[in-house]
Amino acid sequence: MRPLVATVDLAALRHNYLHAKQCAPQRRAFAVVKADAYGHGARRAVQALQDIADGFAVACIEEAEVAREVAPTARLLLLEGCFEPAELPRAAELGLDIAVQGEAQAEALLAADLARPLNVWLKFDSGMHRLGFDIAGLRAWHARLKDAPQVAELNLISHFACADERGHALTDLQLQRYAEVMQLGFDNCTLANSAAVLTLPQAHMEWIRPGIMLYGATPFAELAATTLGLQPVMTLTGALIAVRDIDAGESVGYGGTWVAQRPSRIGTVSCGYADGYPRTAPPGTEVVIRGQRVPLAGRVSMDMLAVDLTDLPAARLGDAVELWGAQLPIDELAQACGTIGYELLTKVTGRVPRRYVG
């Protein structure tokens, strides 16, 4: 078997969910498990959380079906709503909460013949300008839906655009707009994503929506996950599959862009961009072998990458290589590559086996 595995610590996942709940006392929390639980495996994530989670949130009905198989009675929120009217009866059959984010979805809901009414979350565009009604539209649809037979609870949902940038003026503006529309009266309200859960207690309404924080990564560029009390959930580990010595002046990898400045010892690692490791990782990006950091040498290939072992003479063929995890935070790698931890986690491909512990 190819020596590459993503180890998922379910005890850490549970810790992070409970930490979110501690940040927002007396609030309920939808654990966001969309995108296959951010690459960690939705079935196992839901299974690990179902006895402590108040509910789960997903992006589409296919994801909801997976979660429902594992958690038959859990509250499940469909964050983007039903993409076509034919999905509404299935949503009712599954007992979903659904977002309604535009007039087409709202009209389809009113026209639907459902076996039971749905908990509806009216999406408010408070400044993100991605999905949702403006203030006038929200008022109008609140009036039309509040007594509709297809609607059980009528709730409010919105999303912060800049909560990960502390002190951003748009966050204050969004909070002001929320205050205006909440006067309409809703059964429940949810505003807080991970960044707001961690730093904006004024946004902790009846429900919070922890996402990236569940998986032990930070939503902030300047605050480390450990500083926030989070534990890493995924550790991506490969192995040294070849070790060779090269002379000064010899190059490594495609394009010959990395050239040895001294006699060097080069290791080849069983991980590449087809596994989800970023090809954009610059020279000098580090991995961990035998508890010591060593830098990449040359470009990341599809199935492999190379590292400079010259300053780690103890390294041997078969040694484990941590690409990210407890010793090397995923956010550090993401920052070096000009991206965010969310992207790296969700890009770990299906050919990388997941091993569950805890």
pLDDT in tens, 242-284: 999 999 999 999 999 999 999 999 999 999 999 999 999 998 9
How far apart are the C-alpha atoms of 41 and 354, rounded to whole Å?
A: 8
Mean pLDDT of 15-24: 98
Mean pLDDT of 21-49: 98
Which residues contribute to the annotated binding site?
A: 130, 302
How far apart are the C-alpha atoms of 340 and 325, rounded to whole Å?
A: 15
Backbone φ and ψ of 31, nearest 5°? -75, 120
Q: Out of 17, 34, 38, 178, which one is annotated catalytic?
A: 34
Residue 254 bears catalytic tag = yes
Q: Both ends of the chain: CA-CA distance in Å?
A: 23
Residue 21 bears catalytic tag = no
Mean pLDDT of 84-92: 98
Minimal CA–CA distance to 88: which of 59, 56, 117? 117
Which residues contribute to the annotated binding site for substrate?
A: 130, 302
302, pLDDT greater than 90: yes
The pLDDT value recorded for residue 283 is 84
The pLDDT value recorded for residue 219 is 97
How far apart are the C-alpha atoms of 100 and 137, rounded to whole Å?
A: 12
| Cα–Cα distances in angstroms (integers) from residue 348 to residues 6, 45, 234, 326, 340, in the given order | 8, 16, 10, 17, 14
The pLDDT value recorded for residue 322 is 98
Does this model's pTM top 0.85? yes
Mean pLDDT of 325-341: 96
Reported as a pLDDT band with limits 50, 70 and 90, residue 344 is very high
34, pLDDT greater than 90: yes
Chain mean pLDDT for the chain: 97
List, as own/partner pairs, every contact residues 291-295 make where C-beta atoms lie below 8 angstroms and the sequence separation is at least 24, other chains included: 291/327, 293/328, 294/267
Residues 151-210: pLDDT tens digits? 999 999 999 999 999 999 999 999 999 999 988 999 999 999 999 999 999 999 999 999
Q: Quote the tokens at residue 30.
A: 């939808």
Residues 100-152: pLDDT tens digits? 999 999 999 999 999 999 999 999 999 999 999 999 999 999 999 999 999 99
Q: Out of 17, 123, 178, 254, which one is annotated catalytic?
A: 254
